A and B are shown apart, each in its own frame.
Chain A
Amino acid sequence: MPSPRRLDRALQLASAAAAAAALLLLLGLAAFLLRESAPALREVGLVRLVGDRGWHPTRGAFGMAPLVAASGAVALGALTLALPLALAVAFVRLAYAPPRLAALLRALLQLLAAVPSVVLGFFGLVTVVPLLLAIEPPGASLLAGMVVLALMVLPTLALLIEGALAGLPSGERAAAAALGLARTTVLLHLALPRARGAIGAALLVALGRALGETMAVVLVTGNVVQWPSALLAPVRTLTANLALELPYASGLHRSALFVAGLLLLGATAALLLIASRCGARERWRGAREESARA
């Protein structure tokens, strides 16, 4: 039987090695993206990557701004649709649903979270797109992307928000009960204001997920490179652009696509960083204080 000290060391060593490996992988990924995008950054330059009219990389036009705008529009739109739904689901589960219904809701959410994105994309292509098509062709559009992505981020968002709302300190909960406050009052006026930071963090995590989603978006947004100007007009996101063109691109075209990849990595990293600052850290500190008291 190894001594506890040895065991400790072995675990320490194993986790340190795993952490180092993860860090190395991430650094390697960033270095790879940088190397691959270097030709485009050098020969085309940031100014043209942003300012060129149109995206026709095989003919020397590298304007990526509409793609960036489309990515932002689809992701933000999806959050706008998903947030009220997620809040409603969290409220129902926390305050109104009998335990069995709450458990069923949770199971459904987890199931929805596990649906592969390509399946959601096909669902969008055969249901959402034809519905929108009946309003205005071509149906494949910004709105279709928002709806499908909203479905995709809903489970994560609902579960995270619920966790944040449930974190109301038991003292306050008891005080609220003693005052005879309605559950709705407790949720809206005690739990919600306290959870604001954590909800913000949840939104940022969901935004990162929405920005990075590819397969579902390619299938339903129409993929025409243009500024997102109308809900029912097609747009092309950065990720869709990568999926459509990377397998067939060469030279500067390929390199410009890697710039898009670098951009996505940077955006996601920034979002996660901000998210961890505004929510997760507080939660961590709370947990540590609690364990210190115990």
Chain B
Amino acid sequence: MAKRAVKRAAPSRAPSRGCVDKLKALAEATRLEVLHELVDGEKSVSELQAALGVDQSLLSHHLAVLREAQLVATTRARRSIRYRLADGVAAAGPPPGINLGCCQLSFMPPALQKAARLLLLALSFGVLLPLAACGGTAEQQKLTLAGSSTIAPLAAELGKAFEERHGGLRVEVQAGGSSRGVADAREGRVDLGMASRALKEEERAAGLVGTPIALDGIALIVHADNRVAELSEAQIVAIYRGDVRDWSAVGGRAAPITVVNKAEGRSTLELFLAHFALRAEEVRADVVIGDNLQGVKTVAGNRDAIGYVSIGTAEVERSHGSPIRLLPLRGVEASTASVRAGTFPLQRPLLLVTRGAPSGLAAEFLEFARSPHGRTLVEAQAFVALAASP
């Protein structure tokens, strides 16, 4: 049977003989339980017997021991004998307990007691499991990537699929901006740096090699019913800064323009702003959207809206019947084909940067990113996959 009591107060300096005798009498499971029962109030023998589920003769024996140790006292009510805690033994709760003169004993509610034990168990698991995991990972291989937050989600997806092919390999991806990606690759802190821009001349001169894994292009979209066939870059800037607020000023019908912008932090916004040399707070937006699909739906539902989304998403949605039109830019048609051909003005490469030609695991990872499986992951992130390698 479980232990049901804890010692609470420290014994006084000179424990009396009686105190020790009482503790001796307590050191038995049934007797301890009897006391626990009596803490709640006086009980008859048959009540005690029912509560504890022990044989009556055995109970009588234990009750005798407790009486002798002066822990319990009896009262005779008519024909039955009722037991109660002896005078001076009952201790004031909460929690309910008994006073032995030299120390006090208090009873924990069983649920609380077990919950505490469970908690202890859970805590020790929490400590032990990571230790066990550490033991197992001593020989694990690791591939680390850091840099552009545009590429990070794609790299994480590629990493997951890559891990599945290589048992025991772990791919770590950290976002922190393209410049950090280039710097980390240069100093050898990571296996692959992520940069969502072309490498600069001096970076290439320092021996860095950028391998594209995908392309990112964005298209300006308007409703299919919009009469405007093309906008110059100056007109687009004027619309987004709020200098031009009506379509009639740029050759459309007389109606206010609804400017659809992207939420802060999105790579599409970053690329758009950088291309048109706009600052985030200059843009006067009517609607701010999150992902590309929401942008397409917003423009498709508003004949006077203009927005910009990833070219890949726009093409797919248009082919699914969304009434949108992709505006050409500088006379170049907005399509994944022109992004892939490198002729579209509003695009950038997504590079993985290595010091010197990629080798080993890094080279394998790059190869995987360009494989058919890798290309589907690229397209799932609304980027443009590179032309299939021959």
B93 CB–A CB distance under 8 Å: no
Q: When the two chains form their complex, are residues A59 and B280 in contact, meaning their CB atoms are under 8 A apart?
A: yes
A17 CB–B CB distance under 8 Å: yes
- Name the one of A137, A139, A234, A244 contacting B290, with C-beta atoms under 8 angstroms: A244
Given A17-B118, A138-B305, A223-B287, is A248 in contact with B266 using a C-beta cutoff of 8 Å?
A: yes
A287 CB–B CB distance under 8 Å: no
Given A133-B302, A138-B305, A249-B265, is A16 in contact with B112 using a C-beta cutoff of 8 Å?
A: yes
A282 CB–B CB distance under 8 Å: no
Q: When the two chains form their complex, are residues A56 and B302 in contact, meaning their CB atoms are under 8 A apart?
A: no
Chain B residues contacting A222 (CB-CB under 8 Å) are: 286-288
Q: Using an 8 Å CB-CB cutoff, how does the interface string of B262-281 with A read, 1 for contact, 0 for none?
A: 01111100000000000111
Q: How far is the CA of A224 from the CA of B53 in the complex (A)?
A: 71
Q: When the two chains form their complex, are residues A245 and B286 in contact, meaning their CB atoms are under 8 A apart?
A: no
Q: How far is the CA of A244 from the CA of B285 in the complex (A)?
A: 15
Q: When the two chains form their complex, are residues A138 and B287 in contact, meaning their CB atoms are under 8 A apart?
A: yes
B138 CB–A CB distance under 8 Å: no
Q: When the two chains form their complex, are residues A125 and B281 in contact, meaning their CB atoms are under 8 A apart?
A: no
Given A59-B280, A223-B263, is A125 in contact with B301 using a C-beta cutoff of 8 Å?
A: yes
Chain A residues contacting B336 (CB-CB under 8 Å) are: none
- Name the one of B153, B281, B288 contacting A59, with C-beta atoms under 8 angstroms: B281
Interface members, chain A 122-166 (any B CB < 8 Å): 125-126, 129-130, 133, 137-140
B175 CB–A CB distance under 8 Å: yes
Chain B residues contacting A139 (CB-CB under 8 Å) are: 301-302
Q: When the two chains form their complex, are residues A3 and B53 in contact, meaning their CB atoms are under 8 A apart?
A: yes
Interface members, chain A 263-277 (any B CB < 8 Å): none
Q: When the two chains form their complex, are residues A224 and B115 in contact, meaning their CB atoms are under 8 A apart?
A: no
B211 CB–A CB distance under 8 Å: no
* Total chain A interface residues with beta-carbon distance under 8 A: 41
B304 CB–A CB distance under 8 Å: yes
Q: How far is the CA of A67 from the CA of B285 in the complex (A)?
A: 16
Q: Using an 8 Å CB-CB cutoff, how does the interface string of A248-262 with B read, 1 for contact, 0 for none?
A: 111001000000000
- Taking the closest CB of chain A, its distance from the CB of B307, in whole angstroms, is 11
B176 CB–A CB distance under 8 Å: yes
Q: When the two chains form their complex, are residues A224 and B298 in contact, meaning their CB atoms are under 8 A apart?
A: no
- Taking the closest CB of chain A, its distance from the CB of B182, in whole angstroms, is 17
A219 CB–B CB distance under 8 Å: yes
Q: When the two chains form their complex, are residues A138 and B286 in contact, meaning their CB atoms are under 8 A apart?
A: yes
Interface members, chain A 184-227 (any B CB < 8 Å): 218-219, 222-225
Q: How far is the CA of A101 from the CA of B278 in the complex (A)?
A: 59
A54 CB–B CB distance under 8 Å: yes
Given A223-B287, A224-B288, A248-B149, is A13 in contact with B175 using a C-beta cutoff of 8 Å?
A: no
Q: Using an 8 Å CB-CB cutoff, how does the interface string of B291-318 with A read, 1 for contact, 0 for none?
A: 0001001100110110000000000000
Q: When the two chains form their complex, are residues A16 and B285 in contact, meaning their CB atoms are under 8 A apart?
A: no
Q: When the two chains form their complex, are residues A253 and B111 in contact, meaning their CB atoms are under 8 A apart?
A: no
Given A125-B297, A126-B301, A137-B304, is A58 in contact with B265 using a C-beta cutoff of 8 Å?
A: yes
Residue of A nearest to B260 (CB): A138
B258 CB–A CB distance under 8 Å: yes
B25 CB–A CB distance under 8 Å: no
Q: When the two chains form their complex, are residues B119 and A13 in contact, meaning their CB atoms are under 8 A apart?
A: no
Given A56-B264, A250-B149, is A140 in contact with B115 using a C-beta cutoff of 8 Å?
A: no
Q: When the two chains form their complex, are residues A245 and B263 in contact, meaning their CB atoms are under 8 A apart?
A: yes
- Name the one of A16, A61, A236 contacting B288, with C-beta atoms under 8 angstroms: A236
Interface members, chain B 51-92 (any A CB < 8 Å): 51, 53
Chain A residues contacting B103 (CB-CB under 8 Å) are: none
B256 CB–A CB distance under 8 Å: yes
Q: When the two chains form their complex, are residues A219 and B294 in contact, meaning their CB atoms are under 8 A apart?
A: yes
Chain A residues contacting B289 (CB-CB under 8 Å) are: 223
Q: How far is the CA of A20 from the CA of B123 in the complex (A)?
A: 13
Q: How far is the CA of A281 from the CA of B212 in the complex (A)?
A: 63
Which residues of A are in contact with B by a Cβ distance under 8 Å? Answer: 3, 5, 9, 12-13, 15-17, 20, 54-59, 61, 125-126, 129-130, 133, 137-140, 218-219, 222-225, 234, 236, 243-245, 247-250, 253
24 contacts between A and B (CB under 8 A): A12-B110, A13-B118, A16-B114, A16-B115, A20-B118, A125-B298, A126-B297, A126-B301, A133-B302, A137-B256, A137-B286, A138-B287, A139-B302, A218-B294, A222-B287, A223-B263, A224-B288, A225-B288, A234-B288, A243-B290, A244-B264, A245-B264, A248-B265, A250-B176
Q: Beyond the given A20-B118, A20-B119, A137-B302, please list 4 additional residue pairs across the A-B interface where CB-CB is below 8 A.
A: A9-B110, A133-B301, A137-B256, A223-B289
Which residues of B are in contact with A by a Cβ distance under 8 Å? Answer: 51, 53, 110-112, 114-115, 118-119, 149, 153, 175-176, 255-256, 258, 263-267, 279-281, 285-290, 294, 297-298, 301-302, 304-305
